[in-house]
Structure 1
Amino acid sequence: MSNQNFNEKLIALLKTNPDFVDESGELLPAAVKDHAWKLDHNLIRLLLSDPKIKSTFFDEIDEHWVFNHNTFIDYITAKNFLANSYTQFRNKIGLNIDGKFLRERGEVSLVWPYKDCVLEGGQTKEEEKRKEIFFNEILAQDEINRMFDPKVLTNWKRHTAAGEEEVSDIKRDDNGTIRENLIIKGNNLIALHTLKQQFRGQVKLIYIDPPYNTGGEANIFTYNNTFNHSSWLTFMKNRLDVAKQFLRDDGFIAISIDNYELLYLGTLADEVFGRENRISVLTIVHHPAGKTNNNFFATSNEFMVVYAKNKELAKINFFEMSKETEKTYNEKDEISRYKLENLMRKGETRNARREDRPKQFYPIYVSKDLKQISLTKEEDYHEVYPIENGTEWVWTNSPSTFQQKLDTNEIVVKRHKDGHIQIFFKRRITEYKGLRPKTTWTEKKYNATQHGTRLLEKILGRKSFSYPKSLYTVVDIVKITTDPGDIILDFFAGSGTTGHAVLELNKQDGGTRQFILVEQLDEHISVCKERLEKVTAQEGFLSGNFVSCELKEYNQTYMDKIQAAQSSEELVALWKNIAESSFLNWYVNAETPQEAVQDFIAIDDLEAQKHLLVELLDKNQLYVNLSEIEDADFAVSEKDKALNKKFYGE
């Protein structure tokens, strides 16, 4: 067997293990080597399955086969082992270093869309999946030097109920904090680093609904298959680490998540925010009818993980009285509205039996006409104990507290048709302090179909976004974690539900809460702006004005062109243009030798070719750094220069 045929056989065998291939089915030698160093049983068993491969990498000793892992590792590390077009191109252009693909060395995960979010023609079901796929690339720390520097902001617009206006100023409060509702377009990790200087320690609530990494139909974002648990956790950790810096000491972060990543997210959030600061994991029933995504349970809920920046300082608000509860206060006197509640405490309530609280088991004496009530035994009075069906319960109050209520006319006695006497006290509406939020949210208003999808369709007049959250899920988490003047941040803005929720709550309580939304997809940004413009005009939200801007692109412009390319020929032309006019990674050969072009075309996989071109670009130069705002090469307008100075407080 020739060496080439042996290579092909070995590669084909290794590719049968999904741990050894990338999203396009190409072999990952580094993953294979890692398993070889660990003497992984699955790898050894795989190699033993082929007689020729077995005889090459194993030594027979006394009828036992011993894996010669050094020989195996040396073999797959050799340059001619992977001699396909994909690897040859990477070697020639400089994307392989020390025998490793760069994405295997990384610690920071960046994500870019390479297909805009679109609804395919003819889709009518809400469950049908959008075509929305992302590049993800993990960068090593040594490849990051200026990526997280503040960026130039451009394309400024102020949006009001009357339409768009030019931005001339950035509003601030007396403490110098920016007091504008903001929508910012750009990679959310880089945008967070851009914003942190202005909003560090200023945000009361971060609410995010990140990609769930399920791969299923219900997932808002569909990532390529190597965006697995470890990559997803890297992606999330990068963002949570910087997001924590935005929170006030009494602030909260709430993260919507499904069961696929709940446990992973919990472990990660414990690390970032501290397990001692975990408030709760809420269960939100957002699809009461259930959605069948597998062969087991119909999914009717998702989760919301809630952490405090500092649990000792954090405080939640209670829910206000519902209209249904308000209706139960159906009595009224000269003091206020009230409802009658049974003075007898009974049932499974803690400390409700006589043996639990013997001092609250005592007789109450009631005259025959029910007009006189006393704790002192009187002749011809009814003696009433908290006893029902032979069970001895207790009164709600001690004798002294009962007497106080009696003296202030807060006790009412009624006789039932069967003749037994029941004692009530007045529960006044003014005593209501609010309803403590529960860990399970089941009300109809949390239905994502009715109050998410259909609500958005009604606002926009069309279906343009799949699986938006129920508006009232977000309204309620904002309601219980913020006060009227607080700042709320959402760096996975999606359809703009968080911004809408902030405006809705401000309308309810007259607040001036402020939202900051970050999103990188053009389609999502368009939906956000249109939604908030329309609800501001339709609902009369006084706090609905907002400012939009975006990170000024440099290499990001080429990301957009790569995503739009339809053929290998377009990509080759784009590659040459990139080499001439953009910032390439330092290790990339800027020339385009003909043999490299041939290898590139021979890959014959448009998506794989797009991935390769993305890797050429220096991620430190995706956007124009603020420090380079005066550089003529970046053509920053005088207007943008002035607004950036105002935004950054210079």
Structure 2
Amino acid sequence: MKEQKTTNNIQPKNKNFELLRKHFSNFFDNNENFDFEKFKRYLSKNEDINFSKESYGMDWLGKSYARLLANDEATTLLREDEEWNNREENKNSEHLLIKGDNLEVLKLLSNAYYEKIKMIYIDPPYNTGGDGFVYEDNRKFTVEELSKLAGIDEDKAKRILEFTESKSNSHSAWLTFMYPRLYIAKQLLKEDGVIFVSIDDNEVAQLRLLMDEIFGEENFVEIFNWQKTTTPPNLSNKTKKSIEYILLYQKQNCGFLKGLVKESKSSNGLMNQSNSEKVLTFPEKITKTKLKNGVYKRGSYGTQTYKIELLEDTEVLNGVFIKPIKLRGKFKWSQDYLNNAIKNNVAIYIQTDAFSPSYEKKEYDPEKPWNIINKSFGVGTNENAGDELDNLFVTNFSEKLYPKPTSLIKYLINFLVKSNDIILDFFAGSGTTGDAIMQLNAEDGGNRKYILVQLPEEIDSKKNKTAYDFVQNELNVENPTIFEITKERLIRAAKKIKIETLDIKINKKQKEIKEFESKLDLENYKEKIKKLEEEMNNLQKQDLGFKIFQTIPNNEGKWENYILKLEKFAPHQKLFNEDKLNNEDLKTLLTTWKTYDGIKLTQNLKEIDLEDYRGYYFDNKLYLVNKGFETKHLKKLLEEIDENRDFYPATIIAFGYNFESKMLREIEDNIKIYKNKKQIDIDFIVRY
């Protein structure tokens, strides 16, 4: 029987630490501490490794504290909004909206979504002085505690605590706020995943250095310049700021950035379809295989005439130049360049005896995007974003909410996100990312999923009276928060997409099906009808719902003594009154535990009936959290394992406080006997 003090010890997964433990276990002591000095001495024996005393880097007041926060335990649990999630439109949804501090949420999701996210887009506070950003932190350390935990002197620890407690908006405060969030976010990305971060000129320099440190300078891809406004400058003496920046980093260098794929051009009948390498072929009348030196002048390119200069060893094979040439008297193609062009199905070929050249290519390679994003790429501005939000709600609703246009998010998603990938936005704001993903799915039939995280940040009734009054009066929320806007935007956007996109497409396909079914030669149209029906079913199944979860403190109220007992547990002590926990509390515990055990929030635990006792099962894990477990339930459990082929709990996890010590030993003994008899592996864990 293993004991785990898990609930108050959920930490972000760290792949690097796991690799150290796997390959250099001899450098860990009995307390699981890594002996760096011993490791350094070991590495120094290798002559190829140099330990530089001076290097380029970034430092700020609070960096040691930020690192501590990145690896500190979560202080919350995850609770499901069961009523909302069981609604018909939401019960099978794979979209998520989570209410809470995004640092806490990232930690709680770090196991279940470890290396599962394809793309992250965030629009964090810009720290302009007018956007309301101040550093707030509910973690309380003494100077001595922080000094010990962060490995810094007490004077520095004191200065850090002063700015964390003073609601600072300095560069140091902003970096301390961003570092742990970006650090954990990196762990969630797939190996070929990417992150986009919007920012303006106030923190762009600091953000670039911070991202270099976390993701690696070699994984920087681009800084995009997005034209956020087309409104002309006013008479102010200040320069009109019309650009914001979007930093793009990849998890690791996988050479993914090829951009948007252009439509293939027509082959004009010159493509030999039977050849798997797609080699270009030409009219048979061209038989000349070698040309002498000379200049040939024919044809036009727009309004310009151009020349081909045949160099000394120029050759033409089946109408394709296969040796160096000069094009239009300007550009000399080297042999390597020409070979690469031919390899990629680009060729200059002879159309007539006059040797008039042109280009032909069956498929165009994806092109790298511009680092400028504006209306010429179909991307809107802040004004468009405001209109989108106002049209969903009421006039002037978007004021002081600073939304991004959905067209911007769709443009970024189209770089590389496939139809089944997960996209995370942990500064969800008004919910633009979720809206954009639903729009894209409706347009191309994709199944992208979103995870949005939003703090229940209070709406300032003076700065945005329209939004405040709407949430309070129309949505009946006593204390209006941004989270309520996020939620309502997703609801309204889904309805809009259904009416304006999906229903129209479905009706169109229904009409096409009826037209084909009315044909006399119906047999010839069966395949087309079948394809249309599949497309229509896909449209009807589009995910327009979402599930809601929220973080709740695990150090307040009924959980307070629970945490105390975690730290000082002894069977004879009665520090924690488990009778206070109701069914909802136990479900909260289950939700938190399942994510810790790597089960996604959208994957529901299956109830297992063990006589009159309920267990919860998924992915070979069985949770026993309810009171009242007796010998008869243990007997039924073993029978189920023996007889039910679909039920194989490789791990059985019991909530220790709801079991008598005698029963825990009985379960352990019987599981051990059963394991030996059946020669199978079953772990029994008692969790607190």
Q: 1:431 to 1:518 in 2, by over 3 A?
A: same
- Asked if residue 276 in structure 1 is aligned to residue 196 in structure 2, the reply is no
User: What residue is the counterpart of 1:437 in the other structure?
Assistant: 369
Q: What is the one-letter code of the residue matched to 1:253?
A: I
Cα distance in structure 1, aligned partners of 2:132 and 2:260:
30
1:184 to 94, 98, 102: 98
- Asked if residue 206 in structure 1 is aligned to residue 120 in structure 2, the reply is yes
Q: Would the aligned equivalents of 1:345 and 1:395 in 2 still touch at CA under 8 Å?
A: no
User: What residue is the counterpart of 1:310 in the other structure?
Assistant: 252
Deviation at 1:228, TM superposition (A): 0.9
Deviation at 1:296, TM superposition (A): 4.2
Cα distance in structure 2, aligned partners of 1:269 and 1:632:
47
User: TM-score w.r.t. structure 2 length?
Assistant: 0.48
1:211-360 correspondence to structure 2 within 5 Å: 211-216=125-130, 219=131, 221=133, 226-289=168-231, 295-311=237-253, 313-321=254-262, 358=311
1:529 to 466, 487, 490: 487
Q: Would the aligned equivalents of 2:420 and 2:446 in 1 still touch at CA under 8 Å?
A: yes
Cα distance in structure 1, aligned partners of 2:455 and 2:440:
26
Q: Could you report, residue by residue, the CA deviation over 1:180-216 in whole angstroms, capped at 9, with x for unpaired residues?
A: 2111000111111111121111111111110000124
Q: Would the aligned equivalents of 2:123 and 2:198 in 1 still touch at CA under 8 Å?
A: yes
Cα distance in structure 2, aligned partners of 1:410 and 1:495:
55
Q: Would the aligned equivalents of 2:420 and 2:448 in 1 still touch at CA under 8 Å?
A: yes
User: What residue is the counterpart of 1:423 in the other structure?
Assistant: 356
Cα distance in structure 2, aligned partners of 1:105 and 1:394:
57
- Asked if residue 538 in structure 1 is aligned to residue 496 in structure 2, the reply is yes
Deviation at 1:231, TM superposition (A): 0.4
- Asked if residue 447 in structure 1 is aligned to residue 380 in structure 2, the reply is yes
How many correspondences in the alignment?
Answer: 397
Q: Would the aligned equivalents of 1:290 and 1:300 in 2 still touch at CA under 8 Å?
A: no
Q: 1:293 to 1:198 in 2, by over 3 A?
A: farther
- Asked if residue 464 in structure 1 is aligned to residue 405 in structure 2, the reply is no
Q: 1:330 to 1:268 in 2, by over 3 A?
A: same
1:481 to 387, 392, 416: 416
Q: SS at 1:446's partner residue?
A: coil
Q: Would the aligned equivalents of 2:70 and 2:180 in 1 still touch at CA under 8 Å?
A: no
Q: Would the aligned equivalents of 1:108 and 1:234 in 2 still touch at CA under 8 Å?
A: yes
Q: Could you report, residue by residue, the CA deviation over 1:22-60 in whole angstroms, capped at 9, with x for unpaired residues?
A: xxxxxxxxxxxxxxxxxxxxxxxxxxxxxxxxxxxxxxx
Q: What is the one-letter code of the residue matched to 2:77?
A: K
Q: Would the aligned equivalents of 2:308 and 2:327 in 1 still touch at CA under 8 Å?
A: no
Q: 1:266 to 1:363 in 2, by over 3 A?
A: same
Q: Could you report, residue by residue, the CA deviation over 1:360-379 in whole angstroms, capped at 9, with x for unpaired residues?
A: 98999xxxxxxxx999xxxx
1:152 to 78, 98, 106: 78
Q: 1:192 to 1:556 in 2, by over 3 A?
A: farther
Q: 1:190 to 1:277 in 2, by over 3 A?
A: same
Q: 1:422 to 1:294 in 2, by over 3 A?
A: farther
Q: 1:353 to 1:411 in 2, by over 3 A?
A: closer
Q: 632-641 or 272-281, which moves further after superposition?
A: 632-641
Q: Would the aligned equivalents of 2:134 and 2:168 in 1 still touch at CA under 8 Å?
A: no
Q: Would the aligned equivalents of 2:221 and 2:248 in 1 still touch at CA under 8 Å?
A: yes
1:612-631 correspondence to structure 2 within 5 Å: 631=578
Q: 205-214 or 222-231, which moves further after superposition?
A: 222-231
Q: 1:145 to 1:471 in 2, by over 3 A?
A: closer
Q: 1:485 to 1:240 in 2, by over 3 A?
A: same
Cα distance in structure 1, aligned partners of 2:423 and 2:122:
10
Cα distance in structure 2, aligned partners of 1:437 and 1:467:
26
User: What residue is the counterpart of 2:109 in the other structure?
Assistant: 195
Q: 1:274 to 1:629 in 2, by over 3 A?
A: farther
Q: Could you report, residue by residue, the CA deviation over 1:262-318 in whole angstroms, capped at 9, with x for unpaired residues?
A: 11011111111111111111111121336679844311111111111111x351352
Q: Would the aligned equivalents of 2:98 and 2:454 in 1 still touch at CA under 8 Å?
A: yes
Q: What is the one-letter code of the residue matched to 2:393?
A: L
Deviation at 1:503, TM superposition (A): 2.1
1:631-646 correspondence to structure 2 within 5 Å: 631-633=578-580, 635=582, 637=584, 640=588, 643=591
What is the root-mean-square deviation of aligned Cα atoms in Å? 5.1
Q: 1:281 to 1:555 in 2, by over 3 A?
A: same
Q: Could you report, residue by residue, the CA deviation over 1:156-195 in whole angstroms, capped at 9, with x for unpaired residues?
A: 45569x8765x5xxx7xxxxxxx82111000111111111
Q: 1:508 to 1:107 in 2, by over 3 A?
A: same
Q: Would the aligned equivalents of 2:99 and 2:549 in 1 still touch at CA under 8 Å?
A: yes
User: What residue is the counterpart of 1:339 in the other structure?
Assistant: none
Q: SS at 1:299's partner residue?
A: coil
Q: What is the one-letter code of the residue matched to 1:543?
A: D
Q: Could you report, residue by residue, the CA deviation over 1:92-150 in whole angstroms, capped at 9, with x for unpaired residues?
A: xxxxxxxxxxxx989557xxxxxxxxxxxxxxxxxxxxxxxxxxxxxx95x99975156
Q: Would the aligned equivalents of 1:149 and 1:194 in 2 still touch at CA under 8 Å?
A: no
Q: 1:189 to 1:181 in 2, by over 3 A?
A: same
Q: Could you report, residue by residue, the CA deviation over 1:379-403 in whole angstroms, capped at 9, with x for unpaired residues?
A: xxxxxx9786xx5555899999999
1:12-91 correspondence to structure 2 within 5 Å: none
Q: What is the one-letter code of the residue matched to 2:180?
A: N
Q: 1:358 to 1:531 in 2, by over 3 A?
A: farther
Q: SS at 1:281's partner residue?
A: strand
Q: SS at 2:244's partner residue?
A: strand
Q: SS at 1:302's partner residue?
A: strand
Cα distance in structure 2, aligned partners of 1:318 and 1:241:
26
Q: Would the aligned equivalents of 1:345 and 1:396 in 2 still touch at CA under 8 Å?
A: no
Deviation at 1:427, TM superposition (A): 3.6
